[in-house]
Structure 1
């Protein structure tokens, strides 16, 4: 003889514990009927059935002692589950229900299996078992109840008549109906509260996702993902890792900033950063920061494909950025920007300190170390359109990328001169089999990357080139005439 279903807090899933707990603890969520109230209702109804049954002669006189037990037990059970070691039991409700089944079975055996009162008590117990513990608890409860009924029935013996007086039967039926209706009402209220809580959880989940995506704009996607998946804690900590570090800036940007209005300059710079960021993310780079017209990217953290692959991805990104810059430069020229903007880049590979730097309430995920300084120095020494790499980077990529020896430089923090190399292109793209071609004159620009062209685009490009060639031949014929 137990209460309605378990508290909604125990039904929250592990995937949304904190969010569900916050919602379910709000005033909107309606709690289920407490165990104490449910047990008190059931045992009070049973006590009333005993009193009426004794007065009508259906039960033996000594059964009145059971009334005292029925009225006292709910309070004892409440104290046991709240003030003793039993409160720490994760399945205390099922255990207490099993005890109720034993008590109920004893009562049914003591009254000699009189039909309607016995069925009334059994129904209340089975209903509670299904609601609280499902089929498993129902089967366990029925088994304990049946065993207790048989034990007490063997001791007390059968009643003189298995039929009870009308008033006793009516009271038993009414008590059972009242208990089931009250319990069902609380269960219905719980279901409504659960649906409302589910809606709130979904709404807050969507808001959290939207907010996390907004916040992700301020972090590199790899860092953001490692934080939101729980792989990385947001705390001040660093580690030593071998990374490939990339720096770039725009040659001629200072002169351009003096010629353009701030709004137009901002639009141009954002267009440049957006294009370069897409290239960096395509190769798996972690974008560290944008400073003025400079970009800092590193490879090897938070995820790494190995030193050789990280260095190759970094240099491949730089080559792709150089190609992409030519395409953007042509677009800017069509918009009236005639200043020739060129990108220059520097790459270094070595051990750096990477992690969260700053204060507990404001930190920055970045890298420090002499390799960072070397990459920055290489970038400042590079000519427009040039990619300079350190010797260690060269040693990791030389089998797949053609480089040219540029001599040695002296860098603060390094005891010996540093050999540097200029990146020419992928070895696979060298010679007649190269996939990228460029040709640029005043009034004409062509940038061809055959690896990225589909069959349909190829036909369209061939048609455009043929039209352009016919136009040039006609103008040449007219010039001769």
Structure 2
């Protein structure tokens, strides 16, 4: 008559499959309580009510014929829903429960509406409807049960007395209570299993997030983001795009490597890469690779703001790196590193092949093409602290960045000499209104970027400069005082 709840069991089973094998300890197995078992239990409880009611003359004796139906129907329903076309029907469980409601309502009507047995059967039906389909199923089940009840009453009429003998009432209540308790127990077990599956999924999700963040350190953030959002497939594919390409290396690094211990050199190099990477990411650059003391970065893939903006961001990044390198050099000098480290940079703009190169089981996201070679060549020709750019890059940024013509060079892969330019600075930072000032001598270094200074920091810097000026003046006057007493 009634289908046992299995939605939670199905959901938990799916979650378990998604998680893979259950852990060896602490796992709660989902109890097997399918519709078939629940229906057998409910119809057996109803059969017991019929037998006791007939023996106590609460029901007419001909109702014993319903015992065969009560014992056969669960098996028949199981076969219909598993071995016939009904198995392909959507929401078959809810539909079969409505059939149970009609049968249950008809049984209540055929008993003549004897109160306690009628309420007991109705409780089993409504309990199952609420668990399986919620309020909607409960309303539909009530309507179908009412139809069955009306048909049963119309067939035999109401009983002479709506009261049932004590034993029949106790048997009806006990049968219904047993069904509800067993069903509630399995529902509780299913809820526990579902909570365990939810916890496992949450733990696995946290592990996956932690692992993805670890793996992300081996990829550029833009590439990692495009892969994890599904914008890019992880397969061997490339495309031609116009990119701004950047190369840099450290002038003097070879000499420094001969003076420093490998551990100290590694720490210095990692610090340099970390600082430069933060600058690159600030401007939206895709970090391709680190080779020795060299860095390769490009703009325009996997995201682009337009060729002009990409080129401007690339050159802006180079200028910022040059300024940042001066600050880092002063810090290294205070740590005892006397070799003057300078960064030199080259930038070109043009078409390159970008994408995944390599094998199916090991690929590298990078770029190739003659513009890559040009950027590398410009970097090798640059003087310490110099930024050399190609003509196309110059044409894209010349209105906002001041550059100096450096003539032409011959590069392999280019049929004609290539005009190159040296980046001076942002046009807005030239002249008396420039925001960045620098001054460096032995024993003194100053790098001032007024746009990045807060008002509180401004006052502290002014006091420090005033103290330094007073100290210099005092030391300047000291020889005169010594001469007077000499």
Tell me if TM exceeds 0.5: yes
Aligned length: 477
Aligned residue in 1 for 2:18: 21
Distance in 2 between the 1:427 and 1:59 partners?
102
1:173-322 equivalences under 5 Å are 173-322=173-322
Distance 1:113-1:24 versus aligned 2 partners, 3 A rule? farther
Distance in 1 between the 2:352 and 2:61 partners?
89
SS in 2 for 1:457: helix
Distance in 2 between the 1:207 and 1:186 partners?
31
Q: CA RMSD in A?
A: 1.9
Asked if 1 retains the 8 angstrom alpha-carbon contact of 2:8 and 2:191, the reply is no
Aligned residue in 2 for 1:442: 442
Asked if 2 retains the 8 angstrom alpha-carbon contact of 1:243 and 1:301, the reply is yes
Q: What is the CA-CA distance between 1:212 and the residue it aligns to? A: 1.5
Distance in 2 between the 1:191 and 1:7 partners?
7
Q: What is the CA-CA distance between 1:20 and the residue it aligns to? A: 7.5
Asked if 2 retains the 8 angstrom alpha-carbon contact of 1:6 and 1:32, the reply is no
Distance in 1 between the 2:344 and 2:16 partners?
49
1:431 aligns with 2:407: no
Aligned residue in 1 for 2:132: 132
Q: What is the CA-CA distance between 1:133 and the residue it aligns to? A: 1.0
Distance 1:20-1:203 versus aligned 2 partners, 3 A rule? farther
Aligned residue in 2 for 1:73: 73
1:88-127 equivalences under 5 Å are 88-127=88-127
Aligned residue in 1 for 2:8: 7
Q: What is the CA-CA distance between 1:90 and the residue it aligns to? A: 4.6
Deviations 1:150-202 (A, max 9, x none): 12322232223222222222111111000011111112222222222222222
1:82 aligns with 2:79: no
Q: What is the CA-CA distance between 1:129 and the residue it aligns to? A: 0.7
Asked if 2 retains the 8 angstrom alpha-carbon contact of 1:101 and 1:141, the reply is yes
1:60 aligns with 2:60: yes
Distance 1:85-1:321 versus aligned 2 partners, 3 A rule? farther
Structure 1 residue ranges without an equivalent (≥5): none
Distance in 1 between the 2:16 and 2:229 partners?
16
Give the 4+ runs in structure 1 shifted more than 6 A: 17-20, 23-26
SS in 2 for 1:402: strand
Distance in 1 between the 2:280 and 2:17 partners?
38
Deviations 1:418-445 (A, max 9, x none): 2211111111001111110100001110
Distance in 2 between the 1:30 and 1:11 partners?
8
Distance in 2 between the 1:256 and 1:28 partners?
62
Farther off after superposition, 207-216 or 320-329? 207-216
Q: What is the CA-CA distance between 1:233 and the residue it aligns to? A: 2.1
SS in 2 for 1:107: helix
Q: What is the CA-CA distance between 1:405 and the residue it aligns to? A: 1.4
Distance in 1 between the 2:424 and 2:364 partners?
34
Structure 2 residue ranges without an equivalent (≥5): none
Aligned residue in 2 for 1:371: 371
